[in-house]
Chains A and B, each alone.
Chain A
Amino acid sequence: MPASARFPDLSRVPLVDEVGVNERAARFQTRSIKNESKIEALHLILSMIDLTTLEGQDTPGKVRQLCQKALHLHDALPGLPHVAAVCVYPTMVGVARKTLAGFGIGDAIKIASVATAFPSGMAPRQIKLEETRIAVEDGADEIDMVISRGAFLQGEYGFVFDEIAAVKEACGDAHLKVILETGELGTLDRIRRASVLAMHAGADFIKTSTGKIQPAATLPVTLVMLQAIRDFYYQSGRMVGMKPAGGISNAKLAVHYLVMLKETLGNAWMTPEWYRFGASSLANDVLMQLQKQATGVYQSADYFSKD
């Protein structure tokens, strides 16, 4: 177990009132982001995307295409950033590593790999740890693990904590993102508690969802997790990153996630180092918005590559 991991006093985890959270989340959506601040936000969003493919039908060819898109979002528009990372299954890490290495951009685009029997997490711990180590050995910079939701819902918080801590150790230098799968936790109180457990166990990021369960990321859920990150920061001095994933498919919504981020954690988190969007179709909608800003004309999806 990493030295920094310390089981939290769960009795001190703040309670959450759902209606109040929903009201606050709705307020962020009343922010009107226009003109240059919209363009800035759209660029930032692109740079925060973990461009994702997590399908049973994934092949090396699909992953290579994804890596191309990660670098060449839409070359017709100059000055665009590349995405933060590509996110793939462990068996595809090697392909991604090889493809990205060919670009000669160093490790500017990270490789994130899901692990720990994603998406269900229903595997023996030794297999989860082994899967993690293999993904890291194959070149993953970041590991997106899933927590054991069944154990969590049973109240086996020690089990969940130990597992996260063990995976963190198995990660070595790789960053650990801990997926809570908030759609299976049921209440915001549990989401807050799971966030606290994950951060105390050593998570570098906390992440809402696998994308395989509905509901995936929502503004209220993400707000609760951001508030947990803020409290953890004030208590420990350690910054933890946030990754909403699943369901964020349009630019306007993503901008409101940024608004929420800015007004909850402030400027320090407004970088790909501390905030990611887990998404596959978001990038194109952002690109369409940027093109619209540049030309003043509403766009068609036919002009943007679907990878």
Chain B
Amino acid sequence: MSTDPSKLAFNDGWRYAPAPESTDHVSIDKRYGLFIGGDFVKPEAGQYFDSINPATEEKLARIALAKTADIDLAVKAARKAKNGAWSKMKAAERGKYIFRIARILQERAREFAVIESLDGGKPIRESRDIDIPLAAAHFFYYAGWADKLEYAFPARKPVALGVAGQIIPWNFPLLMAAWKIAPALACGNTVVLKPAETTSLTALKLAEVVRDADLPPGVVNIVTGAGETGAAIVEHAGIDKIAFTGSTDVGRRIQRALAGTGKKYTLELGGKAANIIFADAAIDQAVEGIVNGIFFNQGHVCCAGSRLLVQESVADEVIAKLRDRMETLIVGDPLDKNTDIGAINSRAQLDTIESYLKVGQEEGAEMYQSSCKVPERGYWCRPTIFTGASQSHRIVQEEIFGPVLAVQTFRTMEEGLTKANNTPYGLSGGVWTDKGAKIFRMAQNIRAGVIWANTFNKFDPTSPFGGYKESGVGREGGLHGLSAYVDLEA
């Protein structure tokens, strides 16, 4: 039958009216101090910086800029808590404090979701359904470990490391704080945590939760600032362990800075995951997996499926379906319940993404963007795919950290595997096929820490997460995530 049906049209006719999440139950202070020793205190040097709503470019709050003197105070407070109340307490009691945090987060979940979306630009659907519930679940999971650690390490006695310095990124602000703080506390450490400078608010609200939960002063300290503040934590002699999530470049600098200091570290770094679609996959669900893999959280995801490898015999079909699906993605107001793709986190990140859009076109790949409208103010990027991308292209090799997918094809399983592994990263990978044996072969041979087979971008507190190769050192989550915060004595 030689018909050429016209494309399905998704954008005329019935439209969804704006469905903004209400913000009247949310309070954001004009100015935030540093949370040190159980109280909010002014930064020693008295400097503050702005936190911006990336969807409107409006200022949300002034945030204290922590310098070396402030970090010193925070570390001292953490040390005092470590040597005092926190270590003297029974492990079961320690656990109960962590359970409290989980419960309060659940009670205040919607408020946290709204602030997360205001401050970071992510859609309220994601902050409401994913970030905040998962953060609470992380505290709940690790709370239960506090008095059971000996079962995690057969024939060893796990001992807390001391004071952990924790530096987290802007893509999942509260969730990353939970990933860092929950296991550290469960293992008996105290922490000094620094959120990313563009997304400090939910960490500061978490400080309120910590205070309301009556944790002993100094067990959790939240300090705010940018790279220099982070460096001050890394370099502080009173820190026993650094846990960092962020770019591979910064991770490398931290690993170097820690050389010879005897401090322990875990690093969760960048990625360039291959999402591999075989011809025998459930194609429609695979297309969903592609969408979820690269457009979730504006593509600001270290484990994003940013490289699509699709078997040649189904490549046209997959790409056609992907394009149709992209047309239905709604880009815009992060607080609108129907928004699928929110604001790019910052002007700087938008510049980076846009520079890669140029690079991709100059390299000869074909760029396709959905036709959706984006607001005039704020930082936006339409969902984008590059077809005809090659292994030699920068858009295939480098982490873009935006809603930009590089599409390549392969013929045989071996070729797919070779391309998937042809990267210095190794954080995650996706495999789509109906054949069980092939799943296990692929899962075994992709050199990456998380393999999603017939699914993508799933997270759970019980499930260890972390990278091979330049994607990092150590694991977070699950039983294996405890290792990052203990010494094992005989």
Contacts and interface: CB of A to CB of B under 8 A. Distances in A.
Interface stretch (A29-37, A127-135, A293-301): A29-37
Contacts of A14: 282-284
A235 B1 contact: yes
Interface stretch (B14-22, B266-274, B400-408): B14-22
B17 A35 contact: yes
A32 B337 contact: yes
A20 to B, nearest CB: 3
Contacts of B11: 267
A24 interface: yes
A263 interface: yes
Contacts of A30: 125, 129, 337
A34 B19 contact: yes
A40 B15 CA distance: 9
B58 interface: no
B289 interface: yes
Contacts of B288: 20, 23-24
B3 interface: yes
Contacts of A20: 282, 284-285, 288-289, 454-455
A57 interface: no
Interface string B307-342: 000000000000010001000100000000110000
A33 B282 CA distance: 30
With a 10 A CB-CB cut-off, give which of A14, A44, A238, A262 has the most chain B CB atoms.
Answer: A14
B18 A34 contact: yes
Interface string A196-225: 000000000000000000000000000000
Nearest to A239: B5
B338 A31 contact: yes
Contacts of B125: 30
Contacts of B18: 34
With a 10 A CB-CB cut-off, give which of B17, B289, B337, B455 has the most chain A CB atoms.
Answer: B17
A34 B17 contact: yes
Interface of B, helix, strand, loop or mixed by DSSP: loop
B17 A263 contact: no
Contacts of A230: 8, 324
A2 interface: no
B309 to A, nearest CB: 19
B13 A227 contact: no
Contacts of B282: 14-17, 20
A251 interface: no
Interface string B270-308: 000000000011111100110000000000000000000
A32 B338 contact: yes
B15 A37 contact: yes
A187 B126 CA distance: 30
Given A236-B1, A265-B8, A270 B285 contact: no
B371 to A, nearest CB: 13
A234 interface: yes
Contacts of B398: none
Contacts of A38: 17
Contacts of B15: 37
A270 B17 contact: no
B239 to A, nearest CB: 41
With a 10 A CB-CB cut-off, give which of B10, B285, B288 has the most chain A CB atoms.
Answer: B285
Contact of A33 (B3, B9, B19): B19
Interface residues of A, number: 38
B1 A267 contact: no
A106 interface: no
A268 interface: yes
A133 B360 CA distance: 61
B4 interface: yes
Interface in A27-52: 30-38, 40-41, 44
A263 B9 contact: no
Interface in A219-261: 227, 230, 233-238, 258-259
Contact of B10 (A21, A235, A263): A263
Given A15-B434, A30-B129, A233 B5 contact: yes
Given A20-B454, A237-B5, A263 B328 contact: yes
A168 B405 CA distance: 45
Contacts of A34: 16-19
Nearest to B327: A266
A16 B283 CA distance: 8
A109 B302 CA distance: 55
Given A32-B337, A34-B18, A237-B5, A267 B13 contact: yes
A35 B283 CA distance: 36
A16 B4 CA distance: 26
B14 A267 contact: yes
A19 interface: yes
Nearest to A31: B338
A21 B454 CA distance: 11
Contacts of A31: 16, 337-338
Interface string B446-472: 000000001100000000000000000
A124 B282 CA distance: 36
A195 B379 CA distance: 43
B12 interface: yes
Contacts of B13: 262, 267, 270
B17 A15 contact: no
Interface string B425-447: 00000000010000000000000
B169 to A, nearest CB: 26
A238 B129 CA distance: 39
Given A14-B282, A267-B9, A237 B16 contact: no
* Chain A to chain B: the 5 pairs with minimum beta-carbon distance, closest first: A237-B3, A20-B285, A32-B19, A266-B8, A267-B13
29 contacts: A14-B283, A15-B282, A15-B283, A16-B282, A17-B282, A19-B454, A20-B282, A20-B289, A21-B284, A23-B288, A24-B285, A30-B337, A31-B337, A32-B16, A32-B337, A32-B338, A33-B16, A34-B16, A37-B14, A37-B15, A37-B16, A40-B14, A227-B284, A230-B8, A262-B10, A263-B10, A266-B9, A267-B11, A267-B13
Given A15-B283, A32-B337, A236-B3, 14 more contacts: A15-B280, A15-B282, A15-B434, A20-B282, A30-B125, A32-B16, A33-B16, A33-B17, A227-B284, A233-B5, A234-B320, A237-B5, A267-B14, A270-B14
